[in-house]
Amino acid sequence: MNIAPLGPGYSAPSTASGNALPQTEKTGPSGLPESGGRGSAPTDLRNVSIDEINTLIKSGKTELLDVVPFIPMNTLGQYKYDSESIGSHRVDLLGQVEKSMEFKASRGEDTSALEKVLENLKQIDGSYLPAKIDIMA
């Protein structure tokens, strides 16, 4: 009885050539990626998409959790409430916080919490999106 053809030949050489490992960024002499771990362009919080905000949060910019971007209901309707389409919608996050501060100040309310949020957001403004997010712990 010959049972050899019933399973894969683990000892047989592979016919594929080349590197089967995923491509990684080239590293410089310091061991850091040559691109500095940067994405393609700096983040502009005056014109940022919802997907970019989510990427920044996932990369550790937890300051963005202090504020929720406002998207009007008619805008959501234009995208037919599709989460992928809404993710590409761009908002002026800094402008939204500034307008909220102006409104609260006009009513005589305390704006110190929003001032702190705005200060934190300004520190993030101009930072680079990560080229990729390491999801392995």
- What residues contact residue 50 under an 8 Å CB cut-off, 6+ apart? 69, 71, 86, 87, 88, 89, 91
In a domain, 14, yes or no: no
Residue 28: predicted pLDDT: 42
In a domain, 1, yes or no: no
- Please give the sequence-ordered ranges of beta strands (E in DSSP) within 1-137, or none if there are none: 38-42, 48-49, 90-91, 128-130
Structural domains counted in the chain:
1
Residue 109: predicted pLDDT: 96
Residue 92: predicted pLDDT: 92
Residue 132: predicted pLDDT: 61
Residue 106: predicted pLDDT: 97
Ranges of residues in the chain whose predicted pLDDT is under 70 = 1-40, 130-137
In a domain, 58, yes or no: yes
Chain center to CA of 7: 44
Q: Please tell me the distance from the alpha carbon of residue 50 to that of residue 44, in angstroms, as a whole number.
A: 12
The domain containing residue 104 runs over which residues?
43-126
Residue 36: predicted pLDDT: 46
